[in-house]
Structure 1
Amino acid sequence: MGESFVQGVPKLEELRICGCKDITFKGMESHQDISSLHGSAPGRCSQVLSMVAEEEEKQLQQKFPCRLHNLELRDCENLAKLPQMLHNLSSLTDISIKNCSNLVSFAEVVGLPSRLRSITIENCKARGVEALVHSSMTSLESFKISDCESVKYIARVQLPPNLKRLDIKYCNNLQTLVDNEVSEMLEESINSGSSQNTSLLEYLNIKDCESLASLLSHGELPCSVKCIEIDNCPNLVSFSPRGNLPTALGYLSIRQCSKLESIAERVNDNTSLQEIEIMDCPSFIPFPDGGLPSTKLSALYINECERLAALPNGMCNLSSLRNLKIQKCPGIVSFPEDGFPTNIWSLEVKDANICKPLFEWGLHRLTSLSVLKISGGCDDVESFPQEEIGIKLPISLATLEIENFPNLESLSSSVQNLTSLGRLHFLRCPKLKYFPKGLPSSIYDLYIDGCPLLEEKCKKNAEYWPIIANVIMIRLGERRIY
């Protein structure tokens, strides 16, 4: 495809070529004929070898008036190289390269346009990605890369200054974000006061990168980072050698990082932190000294951290905490001396050894509690709540879910006082068989599963049917009565 085509469409603004297996680009002698082109997207064109014929590249480097804004190369399996003159496409803002399996190297690219804002690379074996991501790319705001086995690091010196979003997925040889040797030199210059990490990165998402050992081997993440999501990076050991988190961080999610032992040495001065999620990190041991920041933290989720021995210090001081979830952490055997913050709205505890001390501390102290879900860890409980030892539930409760209480036999009469209760669920309580004489009239969702004795009594016209007949939705096992 060349001159004869573009001469017929002098005002062409968008060009899409898909599924043309035999098409090749033979060159365009009159480059002014494509000066109106804004977008180009060759796709599934297996015979495209290069975007520009070699004999014309020198001419194009001198002058290329094309106003191309978006360039997408997709499923061009024989594309071997990108044109060196890409940097002359002065209007280019977005480039996407996907499923170009024979693209050899990005290192040949002399430079990229100064206005480029977004780069997306998927399923390419090409080496030299770091040639695309460097500090001189002052307009680059988003860099996304996935399924690129050759990538060991993203940048050689430091991230582009205005990069705000960095997404990395399925890059199995990625070891760190910035080249180890160069970042060490940079840290020395930072310590000497001659340079600093000026990146404005805000969002960092890394998923399924099995060789990733640390986010940075030297220095710190930019203080501007607001969101960090790390998922399934089994060799990740630390976030940074200095043990600090970005001061602007608001959301931190870490999942399936089997070697990660800690998130930071201190976080109590991270006043922007609003949500922490740590899931399936079996080596995670301590929360940072000094506890968690009390200013804005509203959600804390901890799941499947087998070696975690204690909850953070000063839990009662987390005045903004609304949602607390602790699941499958058998190593937690002690309950905070001062208890939980009384303003918690939702509390979920599953297979943890803190149920008994939690009950003894007093659930009724959680005066704003709306959702309570407890699963396991209460093998000796025969009635709930245990009125005989003074346990009460907060009257604010709207959802109550009890699961896997192997010896639970009865629901206590004090439940009748929960005038806001709307959802009542019992799961896998094989001995449960007694309801009180009445249930709150506010209940609209009753779910009973794995409780054969109670299920039998709740069938239509059975013993407890008069008590529950006015409930809008009743589910017994897999059967829905209403």
Structure 2
Amino acid sequence: MGESFVQGVPKLEELRIRGCKDITFKGMESHQDISSLHGLAPERCSQVLSTVAEEEEKQLQQRLPCRLHNLELRDCENLAKLPQTLHNLSSLTDISIKNCSNLVSFAEVVGLPSQLRSITIENCKARGVEALVHSSMTSLESFKISDCESVKYIARVQLPPNVKRLDIKYCNNLQTLVDNEVSEMLEESINSGSSQNTSLLEYLNIRDCESLACLLSHGELPCSVKRIEIDNCPNLFSFSPRGNLPTALGSLSIRQCSKLESIAETVNDNTSLQRFRIDGCKNLKLLPDCLNKLSHLQEFKVMDCPSFIQFPDGGLPSTKLSTLYINECEKLVALPNGMCNLTSLRNLTIQKCPGIVSFPEDGFPTNIWSLEIKDANICKPLFEWGLHRLTSLSELKISGGCDDVESFPQEEIGMKLPTSLDTLEIENFPNLESLSSSVQNLTSLTELHFVRCPKLKYFPNGLPPSIDYLYIGGCPLLEEKCKKNAGYWPIIANIIPESP
């Protein structure tokens, strides 16, 4: 890149170069000609910033504009090491290094600029990432690393004090966040009062790191953490030895961590957790005993946890919980204690939990808006308890678990549906033959679905005039009667029928 170019654009602020294999920074020695340049991004430029001889290091500092804020190196295949003089770029705040396959080591870098706020490293085989992330980087707020096989831990001693966001993906040799030996010595130092381990970390996202065993081998996660997302880390068995959740934690999502047996041993009364999601943790058996102390909890979801046995004796918090979703927990034997006390509960879903055979003695909270029961053995006691008690229920979905039901609602046992219903879905009732006439009283009903009810063949003489959507699928006898000019056509003529 010659002097004639840079002299022609003295006010250039951002420069992106792509696919120029022979371009270098020679000719940019008069860096005052591009003193306005804030962003530089060479991409697929194989010669740019290639191995720099020691005698050229000082010249390189002159070639890079000193007001540079953003530096992005992408697909620079001959980049063998980062310039030693990067730390002299006093305005640099963001650096991104992606797909630089010949970059050997980060450990040789004297240091990155102290005011750096963001580091992104992607698909680089270079060793020594922990040399970049150290406690003296007091301005660093975001660190993202992906597809780096050499990474075993992120920081040698401790995370930078002001880092708020940490994203780690596809680092198959990552074992923990901080080096095991150093973190043990640091904890001993903290316990003796000679040091202080502080961090302002708020967001932790780790996914597809197959060797990750624990987040921290010693100590605890910073109390400032607000959001944790961990996905597909099959060897993760522990968060931290002490097992406490950060008090500021608002959202916790754990997916496909098959060795994880417990989330936390204890929960502080002032923990701010609002969303709690567990999915695909095959060995998870128990939840924290103090789960009911999570007074801010609004959403709780546990899915595909076949070893999950039971909820804690104290049940779930009753103050703000609005969504409870339980799916594919084959060994779960009972719903949480005190279900009727969940007065804020609006959405309740129970799916594929064959081990639950008993219905709560005091029933469900009566102000639920949405209820979905699928392949569970609580339908009969639920019907006997009385769906009509759910006076705010707008959406009802029932699938399976009702093999002996021949008519719905079951008028013979005095069963009634709440008049507030807007949507009714009936699925996989193998012996259901008729829809009872009491459905005509559901004056708020707008959607009616029947799926896989092979014996269903009777409708009442009329449907509520409010219905504007009818779905029938896998019900051959009824479908035949609902064809145009067939027996039930006059009943549904004003409704747009949908084919499967």
With normalisation by structure 1, the TM-score equals: 0.88
Q: 1:311-360: per-residue Cα shift (whole Å, max 9, x none)? A: 33333333333223232333334434443333322222322333333333
Distance of aligned partners of 1:199 and 1:276 in 2 relative to their CA distance in 1, 3 Å threshold: farther
**3-state SS of the aligned residue for 1:270?**
coil
Identity in percent: 92
**Superposition deviation, residue 384 in structure 1:** 2.3
Decide whether the 8 Å contact of 1:264 with 1:288 is kept in 2. no
Cα distance in 2 for residues equivalent to 1:65 and 1:101? 25
Cα distance in 2 for residues equivalent to 1:67 and 1:191? 44
**Superposition deviation, residue 37 in structure 1:** 1.4
Distance of aligned partners of 1:270 and 1:381 in 2 relative to their CA distance in 1, 3 Å threshold: farther
Cα distance in 2 for residues equivalent to 1:195 and 1:344? 51
Distance of aligned partners of 1:402 and 1:184 in 2 relative to their CA distance in 1, 3 Å threshold: farther
Decide whether the 8 Å contact of 2:234 with 2:256 is kept in 1. yes
1:363 counterpart = 2:391: no
**Superposition deviation, residue 90 in structure 1:** 1.9
**Superposition deviation, residue 56 in structure 1:** 3.1
Distance of aligned partners of 1:265 and 1:111 in 2 relative to their CA distance in 1, 3 Å threshold: same
**Superposition deviation, residue 195 in structure 1:** 4.4
Cα distance in 2 for residues equivalent to 1:35 and 1:279? 56
Residue in 2 aligned with 1:391? 415
Decide whether the 8 Å contact of 1:81 with 1:103 is kept in 2. yes
Decide whether the 8 Å contact of 1:165 with 1:203 is kept in 2. yes
Structure 1, 297-306 or 44-53: larger mean CA deviation:
44-53
**Unaligned 5+ residue runs, structure 1?**
473-482
Number of aligned pairs? 472
With normalisation by structure 2, the TM-score equals: 0.85
Structure 1, 49-58 or 197-206: larger mean CA deviation:
49-58
Decide whether the 8 Å contact of 1:306 with 1:331 is kept in 2. yes
**Unaligned 5+ residue runs, structure 2?**
275-298
**Superposition deviation, residue 108 in structure 1:** 2.0
Cα distance in 1 for residues equivalent to 2:34 and 2:53? 16
Structure 1, 97-106 or 446-455: larger mean CA deviation:
97-106
Decide whether the 8 Å contact of 1:261 with 1:285 is kept in 2. no
**Superposition deviation, residue 16 in structure 1:** 0.9
Cα distance in 2 for residues equivalent to 1:6 and 1:52? 22
Residue in 1 aligned with 2:453? 429
Structure 1, 96-105 or 324-333: larger mean CA deviation:
324-333
Distance of aligned partners of 1:79 and 1:194 in 2 relative to their CA distance in 1, 3 Å threshold: same
**Superposition deviation, residue 442 in structure 1:** 1.6
**Superposition deviation, residue 8 in structure 1:** 4.7
**Superposition deviation, residue 68 in structure 1:** 0.9
Q: What pairs with 1:296-315 in structure 2 (closer than 5 Å)?
A: 296-315=320-339
Decide whether the 8 Å contact of 2:29 with 2:59 is kept in 1. no
Cα distance in 2 for residues equivalent to 1:227 and 1:124? 27
Distance of aligned partners of 1:378 and 1:129 in 2 relative to their CA distance in 1, 3 Å threshold: farther
Decide whether the 8 Å contact of 2:26 with 2:63 is kept in 1. no
Q: 1:417-455: per-residue Cα shift (whole Å, max 9, x none)? A: 222222211112222222222222222221111111111
Decide whether the 8 Å contact of 1:31 with 1:64 is kept in 2. yes
Residue in 2 aligned with 1:408? 432
**Superposition deviation, residue 267 in structure 1:** 4.5
Distance of aligned partners of 1:176 and 1:35 in 2 relative to their CA distance in 1, 3 Å threshold: same
Decide whether the 8 Å contact of 1:215 with 1:239 is kept in 2. yes
Cα distance in 1 for residues equivalent to 2:185 and 2:192? 11
Distance of aligned partners of 1:22 and 1:170 in 2 relative to their CA distance in 1, 3 Å threshold: same
Decide whether the 8 Å contact of 1:342 with 1:366 is kept in 2. yes
Q: 1:384-441: per-residue Cα shift (whole Å, max 9, x none)? A: 2323223332222222222222222222222222222222111122222222222222
Structure 1, 368-377 or 53-62: larger mean CA deviation:
53-62
Cα distance in 1 for residues equivalent to 2:48 and 2:62? 24
**3-state SS of the aligned residue for 1:7?**
helix
Cα distance in 1 for residues equivalent to 2:187 and 2:311? 27
**Superposition deviation, residue 266 in structure 1:** 4.2
**3-state SS of the aligned residue for 1:81?**
coil
Decide whether the 8 Å contact of 2:30 with 2:63 is kept in 1. no
Decide whether the 8 Å contact of 1:37 with 1:67 is kept in 2. yes
Distance of aligned partners of 1:42 and 1:64 in 2 relative to their CA distance in 1, 3 Å threshold: closer
Residue in 2 aligned with 1:447? 471
Distance of aligned partners of 1:332 and 1:210 in 2 relative to their CA distance in 1, 3 Å threshold: farther
Distance of aligned partners of 1:21 and 1:458 in 2 relative to their CA distance in 1, 3 Å threshold: same
Cα distance in 1 for residues equivalent to 2:322 and 2:82? 48
